[in-house]
Amino acid sequence: MMQQRRNYYIIGSVLLSILLVPLSGSGIISLKWGIVPFFGGSALIAVSLLWLSSCIFSKEMNSGYILQVFRYILTAGLITSFSGLLLLSGSYIRYVAMDRLSPHWILFWPLVLVACLIFLAGMYRKIIQGNVETFKRWERFIKREDREPRSFLKNLWEEVILQKQLRRESHIRWLRHVLIFWGFVSLWLVDFAFAVITKYLPIFGWPPLPKDSAVRVGFDFFLDFFGLMILTGTAVALLWGLRVRRTTQKIYTDTPTAAFLFIVAFTGYLVEGLRLAALPYEPYMGYSFLGNFVASFIRGTDLSFSSIHRGLWLFHVFISCAFIAYFPVKRLVHSCATPVGKLMQSQKTMLDKKVKGVVSGLLNPEE
């Protein structure tokens, strides 16, 4: 009954959001109605994950209650973010119609929305639905009183963050993985903060950041720096893949994914370079060191920057969203699944009880 009620709530919330899109598109409700639920929903998703961590670091409260609250908060966060994306799409359509935005922006939020839905569906199918039977086999051995928080934190630091085991096995694979994984995560976090501070807070009355302010040029520098990490990591992956393509090490390569991500990162720098090249040079542009490097080759030429920039920007947005949707399909999904497995391996007491339970079942099949 509760599951059915939750499904009705989800369907009703989605339908209500869809009905509100014409209101945001017509201007009856403002852009703020899309911004607040989108970022509020993102915050709820983060809170749900923090709440779930209490299963590991605390013995207070019943586990069933913690999981139930987690599901409610996570569901509310996903629905709220989804609603925000729909309302933002309506507002962007209106701004394009009013000539306040270039027409190519009309595609941005719908593409992000579709990519996120495909990503979430794929991750659910791969990580959750695909491991239901495994969880059922483990369920009777997972007791909160057996948890080992210190071992969990140790494995989190050494095997998930620093990737020590992978470094022992292969320095080149470790370098590739660290550059791509942490470059991607860091770029996403910085880009998220950049969008909030420079694009959306001014809508609520915050003073916009000057382009040469310390915060703004700091964003410019780190966006280029973390993008360079991804570009370097994918280049290393592609070159190493060519080197080992006829050896047993080939099983550790994923050339199509590396090439895909390389194109995403490379076109991002081309877009940034074209944007900067269309403007007279100013000292603050130097902090976007790679974008400015690209711009230095084309600034002052007779190229039609606006048309080239718009076309390349659309291509970059499309392949970026395609990559988000592609993430659960290939080996990249292991960047999420593998850390979970390593964290479970840190729980020695649970593992021992599982082994004893399996052995007991084999020796006493009638029990």
Domains of the chain by start residue, with CATH: 160-346 (1.20.950)
Residue 128's φ and ψ, nearest 5 degrees, are: -95, -60
More confident: 199 or 234:
234
Instruction: Give the pLDDT score at 93.
Output: 76
Please report where in the chains the tokens 């840190």 appear, as a residue.
346
Asked if pLDDT for residue 366 goes beyond 60, the answer is no
- Average pLDDT of the segment spanning 17-39: 77
**Do residues 146 and 356 touch, judged by C-beta distance below 8 A?**
no
Instruction: Give the pLDDT score at 7.
Output: 62
Residues 108, 110, 115, 116, CA torsion sign: positive
**Do residues 90 and 25 touch, judged by C-beta distance below 8 A?**
yes
* Mean of the per-residue pLDDT values of the chain: 80
Query: For the chain, what percent of residues have pLDDT higher than 90?
Result: 22
Tell me the C-alpha to C-alpha distance, in Å, between residue 348 and each of 339, 362, 366. 16, 21, 27
More confident: 149 or 188:
188
- Average pLDDT of the segment spanning 248-269: 90
- Average pLDDT of the segment spanning 225-254: 91
Residues in the chain: 367
Instruction: Give the pLDDT score at 116.
Output: 81
Instruction: Give the pLDDT score at 281.
Output: 87
Three-state SS at 245? coil
- Average pLDDT of the segment spanning 71-86: 84
Query: For the chain, what percent of residues have pLDDT higher than 70?
Result: 74
Tokens matching residue 130: 């695909």
Instruction: Give the pLDDT score at 139.
Output: 61
Instruction: Give the pLDDT score at 141.
Output: 61
- Average pLDDT of the segment spanning 39-51: 88
Q: Which of 13-27, 135-149, 150-164, 252-266 has the highest mean pLDDT?
A: 252-266
**3-state secondary structure labels for all residues of 20-85:** HHHHHHHCCCCCHHHHHHHHHHHHHHHHHHHHHCHHHHCCCCCHHHHHHHHHHHHHHHHHHHHHHH
Instruction: Give the pLDDT score at 145.
Output: 67
CB burial of residue 187 (10 Å; 0-12, 13-18, 19+): buried
More confident: 300 or 226:
226
Asked if pLDDT for residue 135 goes beyond 70, the answer is no
Asked if pLDDT for residue 57 goes beyond 70, the answer is no
Instruction: Give the pLDDT score at 89.
Output: 76
Q: Which of 45-49, 102-106, 344-348 has the highest mean pLDDT?
A: 45-49
